[in-house]
Chains A and B, each alone.
Chain A
C-alpha cells in the first residue's frame, strides 16, 4: 500500500471542486413548487414523493469526464439548494445578502431572485414549515433563544445513517417491488406511504438511467473511445438501476446515488455513509480475488467518492450559518472499531480510506476512526500519520466509552451498539435504524448561570428572560446559589421540551421522507414514515454548552467569594455588570488565583461534571414526540462563537460577547497549562453517559511533533485515551503563523483545511471571529 499514488485524474477533480463558485440554485424549488401546484389535494407524503420523483426526472445533470463516480443534485459543483417546503421566508428576506454575508457566502443570479419571489415564495408564504412553526410557537422560541437554541426550524433534520448495507443488497428495483407487495395488503393509514415509496423508487431508477444516457451521449458526441473508464461508469449506472450492485465500482456508485437522493429529498445536513470499510469489503474482496480490481484502482474509486462528498453543500440562513459555519455537511465515514462479536475490526479498505484522506486533505467526508482496546497498533499509527498532514482528520472515537452507555442508558441492542457510526460532526448513532434527531437543541448553561446571578435579567440588555431567584449578593451560601441555578436550568429544560415538541410535530406534518424511510429499518415493515416514528430507535439529542466555562465560573465563585472571601459578592456582581471595566484587580484574581478546568484538578473538573450530570438526569423524565428518549451531547459545532456573543461577562474572567470554550469537552483555550495528559484526565471526569449523543475534544499540535518518534509517543497518548474512556478526540496540526498568513492572503490558502468542531472546513471560508478563536486555541508540541 506504500506505493499507491494520487492520480492526475483525481488531482484535476480536486482542483475543480476547490475552485468552483457557489451559487444558490432555485431549480429544485421550481420543480417542487410546480408539483404542489399540480397536485394540490394529495396528502403531504404523496406530494413529497411526487416532488422528489419530478426532481429526479427533471433536474439538469452533468458529468465531468474525469469522474469515476457520478451524480449531483445541481449542475454547479457546489451549489446551495433553495428548499421552499421547509423554509422560504428566510430565503425571501436574505436572498440579496447571500453573496456578502459574513459566513457561507453564495452567489446569486438576479433572474433567480425575481422568479423566486414571483412564482415560488408567493406560493409558499405562510405554508412552509418555517412559517408554521413560527405561527404556532415562534414568539416563545425567540424568547428563550439566548438560553436554548432550538434547531431544525426551517429545514429537515438529517443527521441520520441509512442502512446502506441493505441498500446495496437490494437496489431501488427490489425495494420498489417489496413496496408494491406491501401496498396490496396495506391499511388505509399506510397506503399513501407505500405509494410514495413506489414513486420515489421509480424516480431513482430514472435518475440512474439518465446518467447512463448522458454519458453515452457524451461518449458519442466527443468520440470518446470505448476503453475509456466513462463507458464503465455509464454501465454501472444502468446496472444498479436494474439490480443490486455486483462489483466494488458499482457498489460505490450505488452508495453515492443513495446519498445524493437523500440530500435531494431532505436538503438537510448530514447523511452518513457510516462504516464503509465494513459493508464495502465483500465487494472489494470479490473483485480482488477475481483479478478485476487492484488497490490503486480501488483507491481511485474511493477518492472519486471522497471528492463527490465535497460537492454537496448546504445553504443555511444567516443565523444558522454562524452556528454551523463552513459547510459541515457531515458525510461521516467511520472505519475500524469492533465487529458484531466485539472483536477488533479493520481491513484493507480501512487503510485505503486513510490514504485517500492523506492524498486529498479535503473537508469531506468527515472521516472517523473507531478505536478499541484491541485495535491493532498499525491502524492508529497510520491514522496519526494522516492527522499529521493537517486536515484535522481522521477524528477518533472510543468504543470503550461509547458502546456500553448506548446499551445501558439508551436501551440499544448490543449488536446495534457495536455497529455504531457517526452522523454530522460527532453525533453517535446506530446504523440504519435510528432517527437520532441529534441536533434538537443547544442549551447554554452559562447563560442560565448569568440569569441566576442577576435576577433573571440578561447582562447585555437588562431584559428579564429567566426566573428571578435573586442575585449573587442574595445567596448566603454557595449551596444556595447552586439550588437557585438548579431551578433556573430546570425551568429552561421544561421550556425547551415544549418547543422541541412543536418542531417535531411540524416535521411530521410538513416533511415526511418516503425515500429515507426505505433505508431505515422497520419503516417499510410498519408502513410508517421515519419522521412519524417509524424507526426502531427514536432519540433526541440536546447539547450542553459549555461545561468548561461553567466549571471555571463556579470554581471562581466557590473559592474566591464563598470560601476565601477574597472578593466580595457585590464587587463580583458589579464586575460582571461592568464587563470587568474598572475591575482590573478582580479580573486578575479570577484569572490567576483559581485553578481551571483542564488542568487535572479534581474539584474544579467535578464542578462542571456535576451540572452536566444534573442536566442529563433531568432530561430522563421526558419522552420525545416520537416516543423515544432524550439524551445529551457535549459538542458545539461552531456555536461557541455565536452563543458566546449572547453571554455577558462571566465569573471565570471571560469578557462579554467573547467565544465560549471550543469543542464541547475541551478546556477554555489558553487555560490548560499542564499539557495534554492533564487535559485528558480532566475530560475523563465527564462520565461517558453524558455524551451518548456525542462529545467533542479538540487539541492542537504543532507539525514538528510528528517525527517517527513523535508518532510513537502520540500512539501512547491514544492508547491512554481509550483507557480513560473519553468518547472523542480530534487534532489540528498547524502552525499559528500559517493561519495568520491565511487571514492576510486568503487567495493563497484556498485549500487550507482546519478542524472547527467535529468537522473540517476551508479556513478561508470561515468568518473572522471564528478564525480568531481557532488561532487562540492552545498548541502543544513546541520543541
Chain B
C-alpha cells in the first residue's frame, strides 16, 4: 500500500496559462465530491485509481491476451477493454504492452516527487507563476495538500489552489496559511438548481464563502463562476452571485469563466455520453462583456 501522504494525481500540466498568474504547473488531484453535469475533467471524479486500456494506443498485438490468467482482457468487436478487479496485480499487463496502451489512469506521488516536478520550472516562476493544485477536488486529499504546499512555501514557489468549497470550514481553515491564491467556485446561487447541476446543495459552499471573505485571507480569494450555457450562464445567477459576494466583501475578486466545449472529447474517450448539447459554442467577446456588465452592475468592482 502507498503511504498515507501520497497523492493520487491524474494529470500534471506544465506551461499552464489559465490557472493563476504567470506560467503555472497545474497538478490535478483525483476525486471529487461534486458531480457537475458539465464536468470538464470527468476522468478525475472517482477517488480510486483505475486500470485502463487506451483504444487509441492499442495495436491489437494480443500480448496481453496471451498472459491473461485473471480474465481481465475483454475482446470487443473492434477493440479491447480491461476490467478493473480489486485483487488483480496489473503490473504484468502494463509491462507486456508494447504501446503503453495499458496503464493506470492516475499515479501516486509523494509530495517530494511532486515538488521535484514543480521545481523543474522554477527558473520560469522566478519571473512569474508557480504551482496550482486542481482536481477533482484537491481538498479531499487535505493532509497531502498541506504537506505539499508547505514544501512549496519553503522553496518560494507561488501557490494557488482551485476548490469547489464543498468541504468543512475547519478543514478549509487549515490550508489557508499556505495558499497565495485560492480560486473558489460558486457555480450556482440557487439551492435547488445547484443540487440539480452538481448533485449537492450549496449551503456549505456559501458558508465557506462567507467565512473566507470576512477572514484576513479575503484578499487572496478569487470567486469564480463557470458560464455553462442553459445552466449557470443566466442573468439571474450572475447578478445574484455578484450581489451576494460583494455585499460580504465589496473588494471581492470575481472571475467569469467562459464555457469550454473541449471536455467533450474526454467523454468520448471514457465511453460516456456528453451530458450537454455537444455543439454549443463558447460565448463571444460581446456576450462575455454582457455578463461582466451584469456583475459590475451588481456591486463587483474587482472583476478579473
Residue numbers of A with Cβ under 8 A of B are 584-586, 588-589, 591-593, 600, 674-678, 681, 710, 712-713, 715-717, 719-720, 723-724, 780-781, 783
Chain B: minimal CB distance from A720 (Å): 4
Chain B: minimal CB distance from A118 (Å): 62
Chain A contacts for B127, CB-based, 8 A: 715-716, 719-720
Chain B: minimal CB distance from A170 (Å): 44
A-contact bits for B125-153, CB 8 A (1 contact / 0 none): 01111000000000000000000000000
B15 touching A675, Cβ below 8 Å: yes
9 cross-chain pairs, A with B, having the tightest CB-CB distances, nearest first: A675-B15, A588-B99, A592-B100, A719-B127, A720-B124, A589-B98, A716-B127, A716-B128, A677-B121
A674 touching B98, Cβ below 8 Å: no
Give the docked Cα–Cα distance between A588 and B120 (Å).
29
Cβ of B86 within 8 Å of any chain A Cβ, yes or no, is no
Give the docked Cα–Cα distance between A584 and B128 (Å).
45
Chain B contacts for A676, CB-based, 8 A: 15
CB within 8 A of B14: which of A584, A677, A712, A715?
A: A677
B98 touching A677, Cβ below 8 Å: no
Chain B contacts for A724, CB-based, 8 A: 123
A-contact bits for B258-282, CB 8 A (1 contact / 0 none): 0010000000000000000000000
Cβ of B23 within 8 Å of any chain A Cβ, yes or no, is yes
Cβ of B204 within 8 Å of any chain A Cβ, yes or no, is no
Please give me the residue from chain B that is nearest to A678 by CB atom: B14
Please give me the residue from chain B that is nearest to A566 by CB atom: B98
B57 touching A713, Cβ below 8 Å: no
Chain B contacts for A712, CB-based, 8 A: 128
B98 touching A588, Cβ below 8 Å: yes
Give the docked Cα–Cα distance between A724 and B121 (Å).
11
Chain B: minimal CB distance from A725 (Å): 10
Cβ of B59 within 8 Å of any chain A Cβ, yes or no, is yes
A780 touching B15, Cβ below 8 Å: yes
B124 touching A717, Cβ below 8 Å: yes
Chain B contacts for A715, CB-based, 8 A: 127
B61 touching A585, Cβ below 8 Å: yes
Chain A: minimal CB distance from B81 (Å): 19
B98 touching A681, Cβ below 8 Å: no
A584 touching B17, Cβ below 8 Å: no
Please give me the residue from chain B that is nearest to A684 by CB atom: B123
Give the docked Cα–Cα distance between A584 and B57 (Å).
13
B124 touching A588, Cβ below 8 Å: no
A677 touching B23, Cβ below 8 Å: yes
Give the docked Cα–Cα distance between A591 and B128 (Å).
34
Chain A contacts for B100, CB-based, 8 A: 592-593
Chain A: minimal CB distance from B68 (Å): 17
Give the docked Cα–Cα distance between A584 and B129 (Å).
42
Give the docked Cα–Cα distance between A713 and B18 (Å).
10
Q: A588-B57, A713-B17, A717-B124 are in contact. List 17 more A-B contacts (CB 8 A).
A: A584-B61, A585-B59, A591-B99, A592-B98, A675-B13, A675-B15, A677-B23, A677-B121, A678-B14, A678-B120, A681-B121, A713-B22, A715-B127, A716-B127, A720-B126, A723-B123, A783-B260
CB within 8 A of B23: which of A586, A589, A592, A713?
A: A713
Q: Within residues 63 to 94 of chain B, which ones have a CB less than 8 A from any CB in chain A?
A: 63
Give the docked Cα–Cα distance between A153 and B22 (Å).
50
Give the docked Cα–Cα distance between A593 and B124 (Å).
29
Chain B contacts for A585, CB-based, 8 A: 59, 61, 63, 98
Give the docked Cα–Cα distance between A591 and B99 (Å).
8
CB within 8 A of A593: which of B22, B98, B120, B128?
A: B98
Please give me the residue from chain B that is nearest to A718 by CB atom: B127
B17 touching A716, Cβ below 8 Å: no
Chain A contacts for B59, CB-based, 8 A: 584-585, 588
Chain A: minimal CB distance from B103 (Å): 10
A716 touching B23, Cβ below 8 Å: yes
Among B17, B100, B120, B121: residue with most chain A CB under 10 A = B17
Give the docked Cα–Cα distance between A717 and B123 (Å).
9
A-contact bits for B19-30, CB 8 A (1 contact / 0 none): 000110000000
Chain B: minimal CB distance from A729 (Å): 14
Q: Within residues 19 to 46 of chain B, which ones have a CB less than 8 A from any CB in chain A?
A: 22-23
Chain A contacts for B63, CB-based, 8 A: 585
Please give me the residue from chain A that is nearest to B282 by CB atom: A783
A592 touching B124, Cβ below 8 Å: no
A681 touching B22, Cβ below 8 Å: no
Give the docked Cα–Cα distance between A713 and B59 (Å).
39
Chain A contacts for B17, CB-based, 8 A: 710, 713, 781
Give the docked Cα–Cα distance between A589 and B61 (Å).
12
Chain A: minimal CB distance from B128 (Å): 4
Chain B contacts for A780, CB-based, 8 A: 15
Chain B: minimal CB distance from A688 (Å): 15
Give the docked Cα–Cα distance between A600 and B120 (Å).
8
B99 touching A592, Cβ below 8 Å: yes
Q: Within residues 98 to 124 of chain B, which ones have a CB less than 8 A from any CB in chain A?
A: 98-100, 120-121, 123-124
Give the docked Cα–Cα distance between A376 and B128 (Å).
16
B14 touching A675, Cβ below 8 Å: yes
Contact status of A674 and B14, CB under 8 A, knowing A584-B59, A592-B57, A592-B99: yes
Give the docked Cα–Cα distance between A723 and B125 (Å).
12
Chain B: minimal CB distance from A561 (Å): 14
Give the docked Cα–Cα distance between A592 and B124 (Å).
28
Please give me the residue from chain B that is nearest to A679 by CB atom: B15
Chain B contacts for A589, CB-based, 8 A: 98-99
Give the docked Cα–Cα distance between A676 and B98 (Å).
27
Please give me the residue from chain A that is nearest to B99 by CB atom: A588
Among B13, B63, B100: residue with most chain A CB under 10 A = B100
Give the docked Cα–Cα distance between A276 and B61 (Å).
61
Please give me the residue from chain B that is nearest to A600 by CB atom: B120
A681 touching B120, Cβ below 8 Å: yes
Chain A contacts for B123, CB-based, 8 A: 681, 720, 723-724
Chain A contacts for B57, CB-based, 8 A: 588, 592
Chain A: minimal CB distance from B97 (Å): 9
CB within 8 A of A716: which of B14, B99, B120, B129?
A: B129
Chain B contacts for A710, CB-based, 8 A: 17
Q: List 30 A-B contacts (CB under 8 A).
A: A584-B61, A585-B59, A588-B59, A588-B99, A589-B98, A592-B100, A593-B98, A593-B100, A600-B120, A674-B14, A675-B13, A675-B14, A676-B15, A677-B15, A677-B23, A677-B120, A677-B121, A678-B15, A681-B121, A681-B123, A715-B127, A716-B22, A716-B23, A716-B127, A720-B124, A720-B126, A724-B123, A780-B15, A781-B17, A783-B260
Chain B contacts for A600, CB-based, 8 A: 120
Please give me the residue from chain A that is nearest to B117 by CB atom: A600
Give the docked Cα–Cα distance between A586 and B121 (Å).
34
